[in-house]
Amino acid sequence: MPLPNYHQDPTLFHINTTPHHAYFIPFATQDKLAPLEREQSSLFTLLNGEWQFNYFTSVMDLPEDFLSQPFEHRIPVPSNWQTQGFDQHQYTNINYLFPFEPPYVPHDNPCGVYQRTFHYEPKSTKRYLLNFEGVDACLYLYLNQQFVGYGQVSHCTNEFDVTDFLISGENQLNVVVLKWCDGSYLEDQDKFRMSRIFRDVYLLEREPNYLQDFFIKTSLSEALDQADLSVECTFLQSPQQLTFQLFDPQHRLIAEQTSDHFKVKIDKPQLWNAEQPQLYTLHLAYGNEVIEQAVGFRRIEVKDGVLLLNNHPIKFRGVNRHDSDPLTGYVISREQAEQDFRLMKQHNINAIRTAHYPNAPWFSELCDCYGFYLISESDIESHGASMQYVPTPEHSILLNVAKQDDNQRIQQQTIDNFCYFARHPDYKQAILDRTYANVERDKNRPSVLIWSLGNEAGYGENFEASAKWIKQRDPSRLVHYESSIYQHSEHRNDLTPLDFHSEMYASTEDMDRYFEQPQTKPFLLCEYSHAMGNSNGDLEDYFQTFEKYAGACGGFIWEWCDHAPYLPDGSGHFGYGESESYIDKHHTIRLGLYQTTAEQNYQDYVKPQENGSHYGCEYLHTQDLEITAPQPFSFNFSPYTQEELTLKKHHYELEKSPYHILCVNYKMSGIGSNSCGPNLKEGYRINDKEISWIIQLYMNT
**Once rounded to an integer, what is the mean pLDDT over residues 119-131?**
97
Rounded Cα gap, residues 345 and 89, in angstroms: 32
pLDDT at 114: 98
pLDDT (tens digit per residue) in 385-430: 998 877 765 544 444 444 556 788 889 999 999 999 999 999 999 9
Q: Report yes or no: 673 and 537 within 8 Å, Cβ to Cβ.
A: yes
pLDDT at 341: 97
Range scoring the smallest mean pLDDT among 84-88, 301-305, 409-413, 564-568 = 564-568
Q: Is there a single domain that holds both residue 341 and residue 418?
A: yes
pLDDT at 567: 59
Q: Is there a single domain that holds both residue 355 and residue 461?
A: yes
Is the pLDDT at 586 greater than 90, yes or no?
A: no
Out of 507, 536, 557, pick the residue that ends a domain. Answer: 557
Q: Which of 133, 289, 292, 456 is catalytic?
A: 456
Q: Which of 289, 292, 464, 527 is catalytic?
A: 527
The domain containing residue 695 runs over which residues? 598-699
pLDDT (tens digit per residue) in 655-696: 999 988 989 998 889 988 888 889 999 889 998 888 888 988
Domain membership of residue 593 (yes or no) is no
Q: Known catalytic residue: 456?
A: yes
Out of 164, 189, 206, pick the residue that ends a domain. Answer: 206
pLDDT at 600: 85
Residue 179: C-alpha distances to residues 191, 259, 351, 692 (Å): 15, 47, 32, 61
How distant is the alpha carbon of residue 579 from its chain centre?
Answer: 30
Find residue 175's DSSP bridge partners: 114, 141
pLDDT at 568: 46
Is the pLDDT at 296 greater than 80, yes or no?
A: yes
Q: Report yes or no: 428 and 457 within 8 Å, Cβ to Cβ.
A: no
Q: Is there a single domain that holds both residue 264 and residue 306?
A: no
Q: Is there a single domain that holds both residue 166 and residue 32?
A: yes
Name the more confident of 525 and 603: 525
Domain membership of residue 580 (yes or no) is no
Q: In angstroms, what is the C-alpha Rg of the chain?
A: 28
pTM of the model: 0.86
Q: Is there a single domain that holds both residue 459 and residue 323?
A: yes
pLDDT (tens digit per residue) in 314-361: 999 999 999 988 888 889 999 999 999 999 999 999 999 999 999 999
Name the more confident of 598 and 205: 205
**Once rounded to an integer, what is the mean pLDDT over residues 575-593?**
71
Q: Known catalytic residue: 643?
A: no
DSSP β-ladder status, 138-143 and 146-152: antiparallel
Long-range contacts of 95-100 (CB under 8 A, 24+ apart): 95/384, 95/387, 96/184, 96/185, 96/188, 96/384, 96/387, 97/180, 97/193, 98/180, 98/184, 100/384, 100/385, 100/388
Q: Is there a single domain that holds both residue 94 and residue 200?
A: yes
Q: Is there a single domain that holds both residue 376 and residue 479?
A: yes
| Residue 98: closest CA among 21, 163, 182, 157 | 182
| Residues contacting residue 566 through CB under 8 Å, at least 6 positions apart | 326, 327, 573
pLDDT at 701: 58
Q: Report yes or no: 548 and 519 within 8 Å, Cβ to Cβ.
A: no
Q: What percent of the chain has pLDDT over 70?
A: 96
Number of domains the chain contains: 4
**Once rounded to an integer, what is the mean pLDDT over residues 155-172?**
98
Binning pLDDT at 50, 70 and 90, where does residue 125 land? very high
- Mean pLDDT (the chain, rounded): 92
**Once rounded to an integer, what is the mean pLDDT over residues 523-550?**
94
pLDDT at 615: 87
Residue 27: C-alpha distances to residues 18, 24, 31, 119, 225 (Å): 20, 10, 6, 21, 34
| Residue 455: closest CA among 438, 474, 440 | 438
H or E stretch covering 502: strand 501-504
CATH number at residue 642: 2.70.98.10
Domain membership of residue 613 (yes or no) is yes
**Once rounded to an integer, what is the mean pLDDT over residues 281-309?**
98
